[in-house]
Structure formats: structure tokens, C-alpha cells
Amino acid sequence: MKKSLIRLGMGFALLVAFASCQNLGELKPEYFTVNPNPLEVKAGKVEGTITATFPEKYFAEKGVVEVTPVLVYEGGEATSESATYQGTKVEGNNETIQYKAGGTVSQNFSFNYVPAMKQSNLVLRFKATVNDKEVQIPEIQIAVGCIATATLADAAEIAPAVAKANFMRDTAEVTEADIMFQIQQATVKNNKDVKALNAAAAATAKDTMRTIQGLEVISAASPDGGVELNEKLANQRQTNTVKFLKKQKNNQAAIDAKYIAQDWEGFQKLVNESSIQDKELILSVLSQYQDAAEREAQIKNLSAAYTELAKDILPKLRRSHLALTVIKAGKTDAQILEMAKANPDTLNVEELMYAATIAETAEDAASFTEANAAQNPSDWRTNNNLAAVKFEAGNFADTKTSLDAAANNGGAEQAETNFNYALLAMLENNTADAEAFLGKAAGVEQLAEAQALLSIQNGEYAKAIEQFGNTVSNNAALAQLLSGNLDKAASILANVTDKNADTYYLTAICAARQNNLEDACAALKSVAGICKKKAADAATDLEFAKFWLLDEFKAAIQ
């Protein structure tokens, strides 16, 4: 009898233990849903929500299950944060699942995207215990593949910023001279500076590349002597100077003459530049008194200072100042291009920069830019523009090298340099650096387009559409496509001027999302005609999954 009771007790205990264990058996994929499914890349991440429905009488009252989402792809895997659930008789702070009723729970997942994830499997791995004893639950697969259309945003499509040349075809040459006068006199006396000015005018008359623009004459009197006297004196100095110049046979320039009765501005400038006694006191008088007579009286009251003024400052203001402006004609476009091709070292930095803008071919423009950077390596603009050439050629390592040279030669805070750094950052999906660089690129024509691309990379598609405005480009179409505006996206793509493989690939995606096999295949044929490798991508791109087994599709991507 006693043995029977013992056997009965042991059997009951085993039954209870078995009942507890069997309720944490294999889980089925249909117990789980994933949103989105298929997975999708957004803002450089693969994110979503898993909803699990545990069936009735599955979750043991003393069971604990840790669920870990894992994205498995060729060459690696990524793990998201785990979630832990517990039965009703477990002491803990995890979400509780009822034994009899079962329960529904949700957990989020997030993976940093790498390209290999386009072909991946989302699996769940479990770590389970019942009564603190480990229970094996096989992993299950709940989603296959990842749509990576958002990664087609391409910074290489945006034109890099090119620094502009300070090119002036015609340059002004100014020759200056002063005719000095004795106090209260207007008699003109020639001097070596005036003779040199006349000689410059004579030489210009014989030079077909130079033209006299004009001769400016400003006659003045010093501020002492009273306004009425100085008005007559300055006027007479002007008249006499003009008569003198018109008598010079080798100087027939058009004369623009005027006079200043009392040259207070010149007086203040000379005083400010001098080391005269009571300098600050004199300048204070000038600022306090605006009336000319009052100024003169107050300054004369400074007897010691006025003596110095009369000796060193005032005589310099009794003059006629002459300025001959000659325009030197620059090289023609044809001459610049010829020299840039044959002997670029005969052109200065501005001429070479200009040559790149009028070059007949992209190859010539690149050649002129490379020559300029080699000849003028300490100019940030030449290095920045060489970086632009390298960027458009797809040589991003050399782009970075040239941008660093630009930054180290005065371009670190320049808008063009920062804009181009931003393009490189966006190519690497480094959105934080890209945003910082774009913040210092105000004034660059392509800034809004780059900001829109950054918005795509940040997953802000509506914002990107607004920033693109009326831009017609692959990136602008992509923003519309990612927002679900397929007709608008297709319209933009149809109007892209220089269509490339990406243009047609995006067109094919628009058609596929509208279940238009014919248009999708036509676009993919165009892709294949440009880049067979790009066309082959469609064979594993979930955007075309519904067409993979169709002969028309297979033929289109060959």
C-alpha cells in the first residue's frame, strides 16, 4: 500500500512536470507577423515591429522566454534588442502571458543596414526556461529579404560646387601725380610725377592693347584761410591745372575736374596717420564741431599743435591730384584657350580658372583645372575645383585629398569646400557630418538639392519633396516614389535630360509597383543596354519579386 502511494505521488509529479514542459514546445512562424513585410531600409536602418500571438495553453505558468530578432545575411548577421516574456507564476517585471488564454505581444527591432541585407532572413532565436530549467525552442524564420530602394539616393548625381574666378578681361591701370601749390597761390609747377603721368599717356596712345579712359583732377585748398578765400583759391587751382594739362601735346585725355574748397576729409586722414602732438585733441575737435569756421578757430587755439599742423599737414593739402586711368585689353577667349592647351603656365590663376569655364570639352576643362592646381597649389579655389573634377570622375579618394588641400589653404570656411565635403559624407551615408558641412555652404546654387538628398537619407521623404521643388532628377523622383507618388515619380524620370541606368531602374520600379510588367521590362531593357550589372540587380530586388519567374522579365535583364 505504501509503495503504491509512493508510485502514485511520483507519477503525479512527473505528469505535472511534463505538462509544464510540453507547453513551451516548438513555435510556428504563423504565430508571428512582421511590419513591414518585406523589410525595408529607411534612414540607414532596417526597422519594424514583430507581433507575436502565443496560443492557448502554450505558455507555461513558470516559463520564461527571451526572444531575439536576428537578421541573417551572407557573410554575417545582425542582432536586435531582445524581449523577455514570463508566465503568470514567475516573479519578475517582464510582460506576462496567460497560460489558458495565451496572449499577444509586440516588440520592435532595429538593424544598421549593410548592402548584403538585401538578401536576408529575419529569424527569431529563443532562450527559454521552465522551473528554471532550460528548454530548447528551435529558431524560426518570419520574414525574407529587404527592400533597399531608399539606398538608391545618390550624392554623385549632384554637381559639386566650383569656386568662381575673379577674372576680368580688361584691367585698369592708374597713374597718379600731385601738383603742389604755395600757400594762397594757384601757380602750376611741373614735376617729375606729372612728367611720368604724361609719358604714360603718350605710351598708351601708341599701344593698341591700351586705351585711356580718362584723367581725373581734384584740386583743393587746406582748411585754413576761411571758406570764401579757399573757395576762390581751389577753383583757381582747378582752372590753372586744367589749362596746364591741355597744353601737354602727349596728353589729350578727357579731363574730369572738380575742386574741394576746404579739404577737411584729407586733413583728418593726414592727422590720423601722423604722430603730431595733441593728435587726439585735434581729432576730437573735428568730431565735435561741424561748422568750418568754428573748426578752424578751435584748432588755431591749440597754438603748439597748430604750429605743427601748419608745418607738416596743411601744405600737403594745397594741391591738384591727378589720376590717369588706362584700360588694358585682355586676351580673347580664343587666345586664352590656345594658351591653356599649349602653355598653361603662361596664364595666371584667374585666366586658367576662366579657361575651364569656356573649355570646349569636359576633358579640356579637367586638364586646365589640373594645371591650375599644380601651378597655384596655395590657392584654395584651384584645389577645390580639382576636387570637383575628381568627384565627377568618380574618384572619391582623390576628391578628399584635394578638398583637404583646399581646406589647408584658406578654404576651410568657404561654402564651396564645405558643400563638396558634404557630398562625400552623403556618399558614405554619414548624415551627421553632411548636415554640419551643409550648414556652412550657404550660397551654393545646389544647396537645396543636397539638403533634399540628405532628407531622403534621414527618411524624411515629404520634406525632401518640398526641398527639391521643381528639380528634375533621379533623386527628386526617388523622393516621390518613396512617398508613394508613383505617377509623379514616373513623370519626373521621363523628363530627366541625361538619363542613365539609375533613371531607367527607378522607372522600372515605378512600373513594378503598379503591376505594369510591360513598362517594367522595357525600362529594364534600357538599364541592361547601359549597365548589365545594374540590370542583374533586379533578379534579387524584391521590388520585382512578382516578376522573377516570368520569361519576359528574365529576357529583359539579360
Q: What CATH number is associated with residue 62?
A: 2.60.40.10
Cα separation of 63 and 27, whole Å? 14
Structure confidence by residue, pLDDT tens digits, 225-267: 888 999 999 999 999 999 999 988 766 778 999 999 999 999 9
* Half-sphere exposure at residue 130, Cβ-oriented, CA atoms within 13 angstroms: 18
Listed in sequence order, the DSSP H helices in 168-315 are 192-205, 227-246, 264-273, 279-288, 292-300, 303-308
User: What is the CATH classification number for the domain harbouring 252?
Assistant: 3.30.1330
b/e burial code for range 92-114 (CB count within 10 A of at least 16 → b): eeeebbebeeebebebebebebe
Cβ(161)–Cβ(419) under 8 Å? yes
The pLDDT confidence band at residue 224, using thresholds 50, 70 and 90, is confident
Provide the phi-psi class of 99: left if phi over 0, else alpha when psi is between -120 and 50, else beta: alpha
The reply to whether 456 falls in a domain is no
Structure confidence by residue, pLDDT tens digits, 542-553: 999 999 999 999
The reply to whether 409 falls in a domain is no
327 DSSP β-pair partners: 172, 211
Question: 181 and 311 share a domain?
Answer: yes
What residue numbers bound the domain in which 241 lies? 171-320
Provide the phi-psi class of 527: left if phi over 0, else alpha when psi is between -120 and 50, else beta: alpha
Structure confidence by residue, pLDDT tens digits, 364-411: 999 999 999 999 999 999 999 999 999 999 999 999 999 999 999 999
CB atoms within 10 A of CB 272: 13
Question: 95 and 196 share a domain?
Answer: no
> Degrees (nearest 5) of the Cα angle 134, 140, 142?
140
Question: 36 and 105 share a domain?
Answer: yes
Question: 267 and 135 share a domain?
Answer: no
Structure confidence by residue, pLDDT tens digits, 41-74: 999 999 999 999 999 999 999 999 999 999 999 9
Question: 118 and 191 share a domain?
Answer: no
Tell whether the model's pLDDT for residue 10 goes beyond 60: no
Question: 220 and 137 share a domain?
Answer: no
The whole-chain average pLDDT of the chain stands at 92
Question: 270 and 141 share a domain?
Answer: no
Question: 230 and 316 share a domain?
Answer: yes
Question: 130 and 9 share a domain?
Answer: yes
Question: 23 and 132 share a domain?
Answer: yes
The reply to whether 528 falls in a domain is no
The reply to whether 228 falls in a domain is yes
Q: What is the pLDDT of residue 1?
A: 39
Provide the phi-psi class of 180: left if phi over 0, else alpha when psi is between -120 and 50, else beta: beta
The reply to whether 248 falls in a domain is yes
- Number of domains comprising the chain: 2
C-alpha cell at 242: 586744367
Q: What is the pLDDT of residue 25?
A: 82
Question: 276 and 189 share a domain?
Answer: yes
Cα separation of 269 and 281, whole Å? 14
pLDDT above 70 as % of the chain: 95
The reply to whether 290 falls in a domain is yes
Question: 10 and 123 share a domain?
Answer: yes
Q: pTM for the full model? A: 0.78
Cα separation of 369 and 352, whole Å? 7
The CA–CA distances, whole Å, from 313 to 186, 279, 295, 306 equal 18, 12, 16, 10
Q: What is the pLDDT of residue 6?
A: 33
